[in-house]
Structures are given as structure tokens and as C-alpha cells.
Amino acid sequence: MKTAIAATNETCQAGAEGRVISVDIAAGKAVAIARTVRETERVPLITATGRILAHDIRGSIDLPPFDNSAMDGYAVRLADFATSGPWMFSVGGRIAAGELHAGQPASNEALRIFTGAPVPAGFDAVVMQEHCERRNDAVVIAKRPRGGENIRHAGEDVRAGDRLMAAGDQLSPQRLALLAGQGVAEVEVLRRVRIGLISTGTELQQPGEPLGPGQIYNSNRVMIRAMLSAASWAEIVDYGIVPDRRDALAEAFGEAAGTCDVLVTTGGVSAGEEDHVVSALGQHGGMLDVLKVAMRPGKPVKIGMIGSMLFAGLPGNPNAALVTFRQIALPAIRVIAGLASVGPQWSAAVAGFGYEKRLGRTEFVPVRVSGRDELGRPVLQMLGRGSSASLMAMSLADGIALLPPDIAAVKHGLPLLYEALRGSD
């Protein structure tokens, strides 16, 4: 959350209908009640990408495990360079990667050696082949090598016993490479977060089905699933569409509470008569933590708990669902997953548009990057003139810009925070 706090440091306001809180406070509340999963599982390295380490890992072997050549060339002994050059050596052997040299080193003898091959004891430099002139069974070297030149020494990268990774580290391809280099075949990771998903709304129809009168297609389900699809630490339990009926919602919530670590719902959270999410939650003794957030889109957001399951009730409007999911629900979900970095990834950008907004409210608008300014920052163009219901504007967006609460008018050249819209892994 650190990145966003500076930009959205708004004060809480007491509105007529109840307390209005800032985006950061809302996200902070969600993060504060989120509990990281405890259970762990062992997984093969090959399927561990993006998973979160359950424990610190220490090196068990030195890397590299033995002195080896960093080049194709000739292994030599510095003692043989005492006279003035050039120097001629007899080639006393040939060592390729994976082979061992048997003989004892003799004076004025060089060994043909290839990258990755063990450098035999007694040899203390490798001269790259480009600096050697081969003459039948001999090799001529014109320049005296430095001690240790082109030798990768045992343990210079990793020493057995070094701490390589910490609990909570996410397994990137590079970290997996290090573990594999240690000979590790399986790794203990936190189990996946089980994320329940419910699309509320009697008007909703699944794509692929005929659209009845008054119906609209469900956009949120695929959108939220897609945002999580690259997250290998997440497992989706999709409860599909639930109509706006308290009993149907309460039943679905109860089912999710027995299975999931977190339940994300969309729709039904405003104060309208047909918004039954809150009362259905109350039926389970659910506790609500966030009510009104000074943000656009997405003012009605509900964060709470049903038993040990975090509940994130997002607005139904797809843009509002997208923004509140990324700004408020996802950081908490990332805490549950055990990730160390949980907040949105903001980067510095600059407005290439003018726009008037309401003071005191954080706005998140879809933007396109139209170029770079002289400092290399992305120049942003706002899409859709702030209409929060536009699927089209969001589909054209490269990312989301944060328009801070203490600004009433965005002018060309104003520095803004920008979050690229990619996956959420």
C-alpha cells in the first residue's frame, strides 16, 4: 500500500449517510483483517512458478561445486610464466565439461579445456583460445595471464549454508533456477488461496446464452477470473450467477464460507432495495468493515468476514468492479496468499489531458499511453471522459491513472500515478 498512500492521503469525511473513507483506509482495513494461509504443500520445481515459499532456504552445496573454466581455452600454471614471453607449452590433455583430468600437472604443460570443465588442481589460470596459437601438439601464449583468470571458483556464487531465499518470497523463474542449481527437486510452498467468486444480479446472463428482455451479459466473472489467471498462488471457486434474493445469496455465502479463504462478489452492495448482499451476509453473522469509499468508480464496497473467510463485496458496474478489485480486494487477497508486496504497482506518469473532477475524491480513470515526455515518463490520455459504465473505454486502456483527491482539475503536464493493466500475479 505504501506507494498509494502519498498520493491519496485524504482525510476521512463524515457524510450525511455515514462515514466516507479514503481508498487507502479502505484497502488498509481489508489488509488488516486478512490472514495469511498457514497450510503448506510440497510441489515439484517445475510447477512451482509464482508460488510462495513457506520457509527460508539455505544452500546445501557450494556453487559452483568445483573450480571450472569460464572459457574455451588452455589451463596453465602461473609458475610456468616466470621467464619472459612468448611461452610455448605442450598440450598435455583435453578436458570437456563433465569430464575429469587424470594426470598430474607437469611443468610447461597446458591442458586444452572447455567452458564448464573442472580445472585440475595445480592449474591457476585459463587463457582463452582466442589468445592462444595452436601449433600441432603445442600452444603458444604471448600474454601472461592473471592468477585465477577465467576460472570460476568453487563457492564463489553460493556457499553451502548461505541463506538463499526467505519465507514469503515468490518463486520466479530465476529463483527456481537457483534452487535447481542446488539440486532441489521439490519445494515447500504455501497452499493456494481459495478465492470464491459470485456474480450477483437477477439481470445477468452468461455469454453464449440468448439474452432475454432486461438482461445483460455477465462481464465481471470473466474479467476477475482473467485478472487472477496468471496467479499461480490462487485457486478460483466459481459460484456463477446468483440472483438478487436474500435466501439465494445467503445460501451461496454459506457454501463459500465452508470452502474459501476469500469470497469476491460483484453487484448488490449499494443501498438499493434489490441489494441484498449485506442482509444475506448478516444472516451468517458476517461483520462488515468498509462502507463508503471516497473513490470513483466504486463508492459502495463492503469488506468483512464470514467466520474466517474474508468477504469483498464489489460494485456490479464492471469498471467499478475492476478498480475496487485491484485497489481494495487484491491487496488483501495477496496478504492471504502470503505475498510480501501487496499494493498496486504505481509508476510515475504525466497527464496529457485536462479534466475536472470532484475535490476530496480519488478517481481512477482508464488511460492510454500516447508517448513519453522528456523525462521518459508515459504521457497519459484519458479514455471515456470518466463514464464509469463504459466497457469500451476500459478495453482500450493500457492502464489506470489515479487522480488524487486533493486536486479538482487535472491539467496537461500534471504528474500522475499510473498502473499498467496486466495480470495480477
Indicate the SS3 state at residue 220: helix
Going 66 to 70 to 74 to 75, the CA torsion angle's sign is negative
Those residues whose C-beta lies under 8 Å from the C-beta of residue 382, and which sit 6 or more positions away, are 351, 353, 355, 365, 366, 367, 401, 410
Q: Rounded to the nearest whole angstrom, what is the least distance from the CB of residue 391 to ligand AMP in the complex?
A: 8
Indicate the SS3 state at residue 270: coil
Q: By C-beta, is 192 or 299 nearer to ligand AMP? A: 299
- 196, 201, 315, 344: which one contacts Mg ion (CB under 5 A)? 201
235 binds ligand AMP (CB under 6 A): no
268 binds Mg ion (CB under 5 A): yes
Q: Rounded to the nearest whole angstrom, what is the least distance from the CB of residue 197 to ligand AMP in the complex?
A: 10
Query: In the sheet that 287-293 helps form, which strands lie side by side, from edge to edge?
Result: 13-15, 18-21, 287-293, 300-306, 309-314, 262-266, 193-200, 234-242
Q: Rounded to the nearest whole angstrom, what is the least distance from the CB of residue 313 to Mg ion in the complex?
A: 11
298 binds ligand AMP (CB under 6 A): no
- 297, 313, 315, 316: which one contacts Mg ion (CB under 5 A)? 316
331 binds ligand AMP (CB under 6 A): no
Q: By C-beta, is 220 or 362 nearer to ligand AMP? A: 220
Which partner, Mg ion, ligand AMP, none, binds residue 203 by CB below 5 to 8 Å per kind?
ligand AMP
Q: List b or e across 188-216, with b for residues whose CB sees 16 or more CB atoms inside 10 angstroms.
A: ebbbbbbbbbbbbbebbbeeeeeeeeeee
Going 224 to 230 to 231 to 232, the CA torsion angle's sign is positive
Cβ–Cβ < 8 Å for 28, 15? no
Which partner, Mg ion, ligand AMP, none, binds residue 270 by CB below 5 to 8 Å per kind?
ligand AMP
218 binds ligand AMP (CB under 6 A): yes
- 267, 298, 331, 344: which one contacts Mg ion (CB under 5 A)? 267
Kindly state the helix (H) or strand (E) to which residue 277 belongs, with its residue range: helix 277-283
End-to-end CA distance of the chain: 16
Q: By C-beta, is 186 or 203 nearer to ligand AMP? A: 203
| Burial grade of 170 (CB within 10 A; 0-12, 13-18, 19 or more) | buried
In sequence order, what DSSP letters do the residues of 49-101 get, joined into one string? TT-BBSS-EE-SS-BSSS-EESSSEEEE-GGGGSS-S-EEEEEEEEE-TT---
Span from 99-107, 216-224, 264-272, 365-373 in contact with Mg ion (CB under 5 A): 264-272
Distance CA 200, CA 198 (A): 6
Distance CA 311, CA 313 (A): 6
What string marks each residue from 242 to 271 as x (binds ligand AMP by CB under 6 A) or -?
------------------------xxxxx-
* Residue 172: count of CB within 10 angstroms of its CB: 11
Q: List b or e across 18-41, with b for residues whose CB sees 16 or more CB atoms inside 10 angstroms.
A: eebbbbbbbbbbbbebbeebeebe
Cα 99 from chain centroid? Answer: 41
- 22, 182, 232, 317: which one contacts ligand AMP (CB under 6 A)? 317
- 69, 150, 199, 319: which one contacts ligand AMP (CB under 6 A)? 199
Q: By C-beta, is 170 or 219 nearer to ligand AMP? A: 219
Q: Rounded to the nearest whole angstrom, what is the least distance from the CB of residue 50 to ligand AMP in the complex?
A: 27
Residue 326 DSSP one-character state: I
216 binds ligand AMP (CB under 6 A): yes
Which partner, Mg ion, ligand AMP, none, binds residue 220 by CB below 5 to 8 Å per kind?
ligand AMP
- 170, 219, 327, 362: which one contacts ligand AMP (CB under 6 A)? 219
Number of residues that bind ligand AMP (CB under 6 A): 17
Span from 117-125, 173-181, 198-206, 330-338 in contact with Mg ion (CB under 5 A): 198-206
Q: By C-beta, is 217 or 355 nearer to ligand AMP? A: 217
- 59, 286, 313, 318: which one contacts ligand AMP (CB under 6 A)? 318
Residues that bind ligand AMP (CB under 6 A): 199, 201, 203-204, 216, 218-220, 266-270, 315-318
Given the rule CB under 5 A, which residues bind Mg ion? Answer: 201, 267-268, 316
